[in-house]
């Protein structure tokens, strides 16, 4: 596509920048911030003009908003899973009743969502899902099983869950896409997973007879795999460009530290810094080139491979430019602060997961090999 910013786009960017400057407060709690965004109409820009409480924007205006948001220092989003993943899925596969029930609260920032896909035995191999949902006497479903790596489950009001609704079914067959309320004491148990960074952004979620209504099955019973794959297609796009703004800020911080410590005088480290800068520019142009395109089965997998490896190498550089000082925490140990990290230490540790979550590098390469290059599928049972 011919990608460029028009005068209208730049006016939209100026409006977004001014609003963010006036309202973005990093100290706001996430739920209050979501409602602030919703009240001003900034949620749902990528949806069509649906009449569900959002305002729509062109693709280039969505990019402008995402880039200004990344630059603004605004609080991290809690509502992006509902806005960017569930909402487009409902627009594509949901009933009018489902759209009318769930889209307005997402647009208003009133209801937060999490994603119930991965399981201990079904991470990258999503077709191995074992969570089951059986019909109960009231005509709804009772869900039993475990999900893992569930981002923001501790804050979410709802979870979209991929579960097996056909007894004895295997792999892609017999799965359904269920919308499940999280406020079910004794039936849903959310347990934080402590990460390498000492924080807990992910959770285990245990379902013990959790209830879901039959009218909250999206796409029809047994059609969960098709709906789930459609949702994954919405997972990357405009957000990649905003992500790169954040990457650029992290790279600037690493370069600054390299200058302060004198590490920039090392020709090997200097070459690595320059290469990071050049690769980030290349990723931006690749994202712009593919933005809004369709029919390229490997575009999202290529993008994931590029940014995951790049960000992991940046994390390694973040400690390399510090030398031995990278092993020392920012404050002295105390019972009240047993595990403190500075931003570059956090970058190094958190980026270790980049090549795993969101589809591991191995899975992305398999997708490219099979769906783009047409190579033979890997034989089943080969280890």
> Choosing from 166, 235, 316, 370, which is the catalytic residue?
235
- How far apart are the C-alpha atoms of 191 and 50, rounded to whole Å? 36
SS3 370: helix
Q: How many CB atoms lie within 10 A of CB 169?
A: 13
Q: To 10 degrees, what angle do helices 59-72 and 238-261 make?
A: 30
Residue 235 annotated as catalytic: yes
How is residue 3 written in tokens? 């990608």
- Residue whose structure tokens are 């009743």: 97
Say if CB 217 and CB 178 are below 8 A apart: yes
Closest listed residue to residue 146, CA positions, set 132, 166, 156? 132
Beta bridge partners of 145: 207
Strand segments (E) across 136-260: 141-147, 158-164, 175-181, 188-193, 202-212, 217-218
- Considering only CA atoms, give the Rg of the chain: 22
Catalytic residues: 235
């Amino acid at each position: 596509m011919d990608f460029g910013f028009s005068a209208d786009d730049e006016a939209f960017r100026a409006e977004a920048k001014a609003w963010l400057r006036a309202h973005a407060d990093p100290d706001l709690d996430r739920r209050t911030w979501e409602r602030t965004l919703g009240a001003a109409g900034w949620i749902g820009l990528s949806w069509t003009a649906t009449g569900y409480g959002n305002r729509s924007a062109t693709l280039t205006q969505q990019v402008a908003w995402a880039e200004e948001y990344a630059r603004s220092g605004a609080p991290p989003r809690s509502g992006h899973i509902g806005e960017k993943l569930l909402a487009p899925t409902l627009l594509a596969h949901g009933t009018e009743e489902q759209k009318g029930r769930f889209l307005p609260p997402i647009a208003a920032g009133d209801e937060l969502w999490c994603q119930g896909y991965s399981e201990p035995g079904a991470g990258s191999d999503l077709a191995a899902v074992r969570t089951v949902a059986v019909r109960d006497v009231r005509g709804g479903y009772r869900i039993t099983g475990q999900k893992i790596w569930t981002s923001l489950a501790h804050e979410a009001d709802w979870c979209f869950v991929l579960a097996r609704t056909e007894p004895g079914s295997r792999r892609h067959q017999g799965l359904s896409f269920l919308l499940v309320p999280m406020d079910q004491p004794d039936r849903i148990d959310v347990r934080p997973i402590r990460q390498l960074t000492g924080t807990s952004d992910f959770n285990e979620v245990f379902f013990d007879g959790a209830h879901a209504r039959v009218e909250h099955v999206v796409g029809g019973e047994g059609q969960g795999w098709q709906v789930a794959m459609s949702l994954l297609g919405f997972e990357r796009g405009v957000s990649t460009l905003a992500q790169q703004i954040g990457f650029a800020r992290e790279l600037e911080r690493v370069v600054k530290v390299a200058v302060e410590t004198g590490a920039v005088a090392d020709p090997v480290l200097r070459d690595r810094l320059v290469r990071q800068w050049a690769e980030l520019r290349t990723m931006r142009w690749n994202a712009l080139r593919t933005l809004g395109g369709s029919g390229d089965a490997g575009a999202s997998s290529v993008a994931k491979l590029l940014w995951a490896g790049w960000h992991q190498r940046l994390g390694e550089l973040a400690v390399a430019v510090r030398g031995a000082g990278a092993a020392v925490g920012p404050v002295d140990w105390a019972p009240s602060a047993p595990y403190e990290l500075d931003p570059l230490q956090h970058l190094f540790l958190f980026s270790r997961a980049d090549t795993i979550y969101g589809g591991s590098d191995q899975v992305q390469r398999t997708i490219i090999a099979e769906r783009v290059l047409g190579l033979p599928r890997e034989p089943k049972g080969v280890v």
